[in-house]
Amino acid sequence: MSMIADVPVKDLVKTYGTPLVVYDAGALRSRLKEFTENFQSDRFETGILYASKAFSCKAVLKLANEYGLYVDAVSCGEIHTALAAGYDPAKIVFHGNNKTADDLQYALTKGIGTIVVDNLMEAQLLDQMIRGTDHTIHTLVRVNPGISAHTHHYIVTGHVDSKFGISLLNESELVDTIRILKDNPNISFDGFHSHIGSQIFEKQAFVEEIRKLFETAADFREKYGISCNTMDFGGGFAAVYTEEDHPIPIKEVCDTILSTCTEEEDRLHTGIQKVLIEPGRSIVAEAGYNLYTVGFLKKTPNRSYVFVDGGMSDNIRPALYQAKYDAYIDGKETEPVKETMTVAGKCCESGDILIEAIDLPEVKSGDILVMKTCGAYGYAMASHYNKLPLPAVVFAEDGNHRTVIRRETFEHMIALEED
Ligand SMILES: Cc1ncc(COP(=O)(O)O)c(C=O)c1O
């Protein structure tokens, strides 16, 4: 019998049904603590933003708030959720490559602290909207340093053709963007932001990113008299999905980032006072489990399938990125492997495969399959494909458990529909 946070998996299934998303809330706390304890510096003011796109709900945001994190939000919906969780709007940082006028107005009206300006047009729009009003806003400008961290192609955002940020190769657009922000008395231009990818295993990628941003800050001060005080290096810290994954420990990531910042500041004297990071996946991924009930089993000439009662509707990552996961059958963890199987979901799509190949013991209909490391970009990317209701989300901690998002009903799914 397996347990999550001292709660038997069987009890969770009996109480809430499947498919079910379960977070070990103690594991979430440990990760938050690990980041806050280690991202500290005598030299710089430091801040950690929880990248809420990884998993946004009031309960997780309340935890992040408890540990003093800021929030990275990429939509008004994410801002609304953070505010509903009790966040001080000043601690919300608004991202996104295509914020509409309505989005910006919403952020200004709600008193959001910082906007990460993605491009020249956004700077122009923000300038027009805020000039002469009572609103004030801090801004960072997202730059694309052209560093591509080693990760799957579709989740790399730092390459030169990325839709995010202004390429450092496009210096004139970057200067124009910053000048617009600096010339507006309601706007404070604080510095640069970049995010070079996700599920990054190499420290060197962050070192290169930091060097590039400090060099840019030094260069801009010298050439254009543009100074800045803040740098935000984004997220991208890896999580363990399978035994092939060996992420850099959080302490090491934090030490590397902060020591590189110190070295660069000693070398270049840019005037940077505050450094920020934006972890998402590394906070929530490993704390989350998806529980499924095994339905039918099927053999084809080349495969043995295990069908489960969820799929790409609650976890699209395997179909979208060929993301790999590990799983086990509840209560059979120590049983010998019987065969290599493919775990497939119940959606009407051939690509609805959750795990291509996994060694499993003898599996029977009615068994519970526990998929590990499902806490990031799983529920967050869930859809209603095939009109499957979204699963419930539960927090388990020290032998207790509680619902943090109720299971959707069929009625919820048609609630907004008109005849
Ligand atoms: C701007 C920005 N910050 C932070 C993150 C969080 O990244 P991760 O979940 O890999 O830490 C992302 C993810 O896409 C991002 O785009």
* CATH number, domain containing residue 339: 2.40.37.10
- Residue 26 is assigned to a structural domain of this protein: no
- Residue 201 is assigned to a structural domain of this protein: yes
- Residue 359 is assigned to a structural domain of this protein: yes
Do 179 and 269 share a domain, yes or no?
A: yes
Do 209 and 99 share a domain, yes or no?
A: yes
Q: Is the CB of 95 under 6 A from ligand 1?
A: yes
Question: Looking at residue 124, what is its pLDDT?
Answer: 98
Question: Looking at residue 148, what is its pLDDT?
Answer: 72
Do 152 and 301 share a domain, yes or no?
A: no
pLDDT at 158 over 80: no
Q: What confidence tens digit (pLDDT) does each residue in 19-37 have?
A: 999 999 999 999 999 999 9
Average pLDDT of the residues in 296-321 = 97
Q: Is the CB of 31 under 6 A from ligand 1?
A: no
pLDDT at 153 over 60: no
Which residue in 206, 285, 209, 208 sits closest to 242, CA to CA?
Answer: 285
Do 269 and 129 share a domain, yes or no?
A: yes
- Residue 270 is assigned to a structural domain of this protein: yes
Do 372 and 358 share a domain, yes or no?
A: yes
Do 186 and 77 share a domain, yes or no?
A: yes
Question: Looking at residue 55, what is its pLDDT?
Answer: 98
Question: Looking at residue 159, what is its pLDDT?
Answer: 66
Catalytic choice (76, 228, 348, 374)? 348
H or E segment and range at residue 340? strand 339-344
Question: Looking at residue 151, what is its pLDDT?
Answer: 59
What number of other Cβ atoms are within 10 A of residue 21's Cβ? 28
Do 343 and 242 share a domain, yes or no?
A: no
Average pLDDT of the residues in 260-271 = 98
Contact 144, 192 (CB under 8 A): no
Average pLDDT of the residues in 376-385 = 98
Question: Looking at residue 150, what is its pLDDT?
Answer: 63
Question: Looking at residue 105, what is its pLDDT?
Answer: 98
Q: Pick the atom of ligand 1 nearest to 199's CA.
A: 10
Question: Looking at residue 149, what is its pLDDT?
Answer: 79
H or E segment and range at residue 288? strand 288-299
Do 238 and 352 share a domain, yes or no?
A: no
Distance from the alpha carbon of residue 278 to the mean position of ligand 1, in angstroms: 6
Q: What confidence tens digit (pLDDT) does each residue in 193-245 have?
A: 999 988 999 888 899 999 999 999 999 999 999 999 999 999 999 999 999 99
Average pLDDT of the residues in 45-50 = 98
Percent of the chain with pLDDT over 90: 94
**What span, in angstroms and rounded, lies between the C-alpha atoms of 236 and 197?**
5
Q: Is the CB of 278 under 6 A from ligand 1?
A: yes
Indicate left, alpha or beta for 322 from its phi (over 0: left) and psi (-120 to 50: alpha): left
Structure tokens at 124: 């122009």
Pairing of strands 45-51, 304-308: unpaired
The set of long-range contacts for 406-413, using a CB threshold of 8 Å and a minimum separation of 24, is 407/16, 407/17, 413/384, 413/387, 413/389
Single out the residue in 284, 301, 329 at which a domain terminates. Answer: 284
Question: Looking at residue 154, what is its pLDDT?
Answer: 36
pLDDT at 397 over 70: yes
- Residue 30 is assigned to a structural domain of this protein: no
User: Phi, psi (5° rounding) for residue 186?
Assistant: -85, -5
Single out the residue in 219, 252, 284 at which a domain terminates. Answer: 284
pLDDT at 155 over 50: no
User: Does 348 participate in catalysis according to the annotation?
Assistant: yes
pLDDT at 156 over 80: no
> What is the dihedral angle through the alpha carbons of 405, 407, 410, 412, rounded to the nearest 10 degrees?
-10
Do 73 and 100 share a domain, yes or no?
A: yes
Q: By CB neighbour count within 10 A (0-12 exposed, 13-18 middle, 19+ buried), where does 105 fall?
A: middle
Question: Looking at residue 1, what is its pLDDT?
Answer: 73
Distance from the alpha carbon of residue 235 to the mean position of ligand 1, in angstroms: 5
Distance from the alpha carbon of residue 6 to the mean position of ligand 1, in angstroms: 31
CATH no. for residue 225?
A: 3.20.20.10
CA angle 280, 119, 198 (to 5 degrees): 25
Do 54 and 80 share a domain, yes or no?
A: yes
Single out the residue in 255, 284, 313 at which a domain terminates. Answer: 284
| Number of domains the chain is built from | 2
Which residue in 154, 51, 107, 281 sits closest to 117, CA to CA?
Answer: 107
- Residue 360 is assigned to a structural domain of this protein: yes
Domain that holds residue 332: 3-8+287-414
What band does 351 get if pLDDT is binned at 50, 70 and 90? Answer: very high
Average per-residue pLDDT in the chain? 96
Do 276 and 343 share a domain, yes or no?
A: no
Q: Pick the atom of ligand 1 nearest to 279's CA.
A: 11
Question: Looking at residue 44, what is its pLDDT?
Answer: 98
- Residue 34 is assigned to a structural domain of this protein: no
Q: What confidence tens digit (pLDDT) does each residue in 65-79 have?
A: 999 999 999 999 999
Do 203 and 254 share a domain, yes or no?
A: yes
User: Phi, psi (5° rounding) for residue 206?
Assistant: -70, -40
- Among 162-171, 363-372, 385-394, the range scoring the smallest mean pLDDT is 162-171
Residues in the chain: 419
- Residue 160 is assigned to a structural domain of this protein: yes
Question: Looking at residue 57, what is its pLDDT?
Answer: 98
Q: What confidence tens digit (pLDDT) does each residue in 175-196 have?
A: 999 999 999 999 999 999 999 9
Distance from the alpha carbon of residue 153 to the mean position of ligand 1, in angstroms: 15
